[in-house]
Structure 1
Amino acid sequence: MPQHKISFQLYSARNFPPLETVLEGLAAIGYDAVEPYYPLYGDDAAAYRAKVDAVGLVTPTFHAPLDGVAGDTARFIDIAGTIGASTIVVPYLVAEERPTNIDGWKKLHDTLARAAEKAKAAGFGLGWHNHDFEYVSLPDGSRPIDHLIGNGVSAELDIGWVVRAGKDPVREIEKLAGDTIAFHIKDLAPAGTTAEDGWADVGTGTVDWKALKPHIDGAAKAHVLVAEHDNPADWKRFAERSFASIKALLS
């Protein structure tokens, strides 16, 4: 059975500074790791690393913008080394920058693959974190996600967004099992819920994590489970409940 690190996407606590207090709280709860997003580590990755080291956490994965990863790959490879990460993850593409056809998604993949080749040469991985738009069918019946992953580009599969896209998470986990390097463990509130943007603390929502666990375990390279909530009213409540649920799932 794989040994997973339980991580926390720091975007979930962006509205509750300071970072030092959040990190101390996460360490006290029992988290192994954190996943920062740009510009949290900004131009001083060493200062970020010092704060994480001070509480005994690690940073196996981090989110970095596409323009930086593609346009200044060396910089983000350097950041990865500084903060102790093994994988750089591109987390999002705003609507106006998304390709509008199959060729466009294939070209985006080629861009990612070139950056992944450079990252691999330096000893790092490169991945893509999905939302729901990657699961919208294209004219030939394929989806953007089908073109983005592979050829050195890994998946950080966000299960919550897969479910919100209306897709079967088992099928999607199995489809990308060989290319997945981490999972975002994100839960959904019941349909019609508007509070907290319709997300829920892990284990309190509608996702059947027990049913998904064997399939998550089947992704042999995915050793990091990242708890995330896009808009919690209370970051610590989310962190505590989600850690307890993930820990129970792993045991």
Structure 2
Amino acid sequence: MNQSRRLFLQQSAAVGLASMLPFKTASAETSLPIGVQLYTVQDELKKDAAATLKSLAKIGYREVESFPLQTVSPADLRKMLDDAGLKCPSAHLFFGLSETDKLLDQANTLGAHYVVSSILLPNPVQADQLSKVLDIIKTFTLDDFKKIAVKANEIGAQAKKAGLQYAYHNHNFEFRDYDGHTGYEILLSETDPSLVKFELDCGWMTTAGRNPIDYFTKYPGRYPLMHAKDFPADTPVNTVIGVDPKHPPTEIGSGHIAYKPIIAAAEKSGLQHIFVEQDPPIAGMTSLEAVAISYKALRPIV
């Protein structure tokens, strides 16, 4: 075989192999698409939900994570998502405030696989107590986290029967120190790994003084979901729930969290979905402009 023919065959084989591998560039879709938590663009959704979802798709998003929309039913949202070419693999739901079976039905209507607690309380609350939820969380004890772990296992079992997977989403308050222990370690140790997965919110975990890489590394298989959220570099470490108005969340790349090593560790741990999230209100731009900035910052490193 002459040299030119040998070179042609080698190059052809290389091109064929490359076409079968995830292609990680700033513009090409990879095996791990970037999603967005719809809570971030709630202001736009209230104005025109269908148009907002199509705008997200134009930015490059291929997935969304839902949160309860009071003005749009799950069935209508599913149709809008289908029309926009978006998938909804994960749904945030208010477990403990509505019947679990009804919430799971909503998730199935959306086509979700994961059902996630934004916040899970140890004891039932009445409607007139909802405004006091943050105050209730500030009084949590380690025993409260043990109760939450029991509830998480129960929800996980119900979700499994419905063909779904339950996951717990962290904020910063789970990392409050109780004489050398945290509520988060109780949730990890006292929940059934097959029934309870976790959605690691990198922004809140970092703000609590913890490193997401440590958790992805130590607990492989427990983190199929991740929130990408950023905070200003001068944000102080704290474990008190609630957005600090002096240090509000910002767009990915505009804060201090280095996502390249985090995502590398997360993928090794079994991460399946990344969702951009930024707590409103968003200053100086629209929420769609903010999530576009975050997408452009993440796309080259995912």
Taking structure 2 as the reference length, the TM-score comes to: 0.75
The 3 A distance-change label for structure 1 pair 100 and 200 is: closer
* 8 Å Cα contact 2:34/2:61 also seen in 1: yes
Which of 105, 124, 130 is 2:170 aligned to?
130
Shift of 1:109: 0.8
Shift of 1:143: 1.1
Which of 181, 194, 211 is 1:168 aligned to?
211
Matched, 1:73 2:100: yes
Shift of 1:196: 8.3
Shift of 1:43: 7.5
Q: Which moved more, 1:113-122 or 1:146-155?
A: 146-155
Matched, 1:14 2:69: no
Amino acid at match of 1:217: E
Unaligned runs of 5+ in 1: none
Once the two structures are superposed, residues 208-236 of structure 1 have per-residue CA deviations (whole angstroms, 9 ceiling, x without a partner) of: 1122222111221x211000110223212
Q: Which contiguous aligned blocks of 4+ residues in structure 1 show a shift greater than 6 angstroms?
A: 193-196
Which of 109, 113, 116 is 1:89 aligned to?
116
Matched, 1:4 2:32: yes
Q: 1:28: which partner in 2?
A: 58
* 8 Å Cα contact 1:156/1:180 also seen in 2: yes
Which of 224, 227, 230 is 1:184 aligned to?
227
Once the two structures are superposed, residues 165-211 of structure 1 have per-residue CA deviations (whole angstroms, 9 ceiling, x without a partner) of: 11122213323432112000111122169878532211222111122
Where in structure 2 are the equivalents of 1:183-222 lying within 5 Å? 183-191=226-234, 197-220=247-270, 222=271
Q: 2:91: which partner in 1?
A: 62
Q: How many residues align?
A: 245
Q: Secondary structure at the match of 1:104?
A: helix
Amino acid at match of 2:110: I
Alpha-carbon distance in 1 for matches of 2:234, 2:187: 29
Alpha-carbon distance in 2 for matches of 1:191, 1:55: 38
Amino acid at match of 1:22: T
Amino acid at match of 1:184: H
Alpha-carbon distance in 2 for matches of 1:203, 1:44: 34
Q: 1:148: which partner in 2?
A: 187
Q: Secondary structure at the match of 1:60?
A: strand
Alpha-carbon distance in 1 for matches of 2:140, 2:276: 31
Once the two structures are superposed, residues 78-128 of structure 1 have per-residue CA deviations (whole angstroms, 9 ceiling, x without a partner) of: 111100000110012533343622222111110110110111122100011
Q: Secondary structure at the match of 1:35?
A: strand
Alpha-carbon distance in 2 for matches of 1:144, 1:103: 9
Alpha-carbon distance in 2 for matches of 1:46, 1:30: 24
Taking structure 1 as the reference length, the TM-score comes to: 0.89
Once the two structures are superposed, residues 23-49 of structure 1 have per-residue CA deviations (whole angstroms, 9 ceiling, x without a partner) of: 0110111101111112x1677211111
Which of 214, 227, 236 is 2:276 aligned to?
227
* 8 Å Cα contact 1:190/1:198 also seen in 2: no
Amino acid at match of 2:233: P
* 8 Å Cα contact 2:200/2:212 also seen in 1: no
Alpha-carbon distance in 2 for matches of 1:33, 1:73: 24
Alpha-carbon distance in 2 for matches of 1:54, 1:177: 35
* 8 Å Cα contact 2:199/2:223 also seen in 1: yes
* 8 Å Cα contact 2:95/2:103 also seen in 1: no
Unaligned runs of 5+ in 2: 1-21, 23-29, 121-132, 237-243
* 8 Å Cα contact 1:41/1:48 also seen in 2: no
Alpha-carbon distance in 1 for matches of 2:32, 2:64: 13
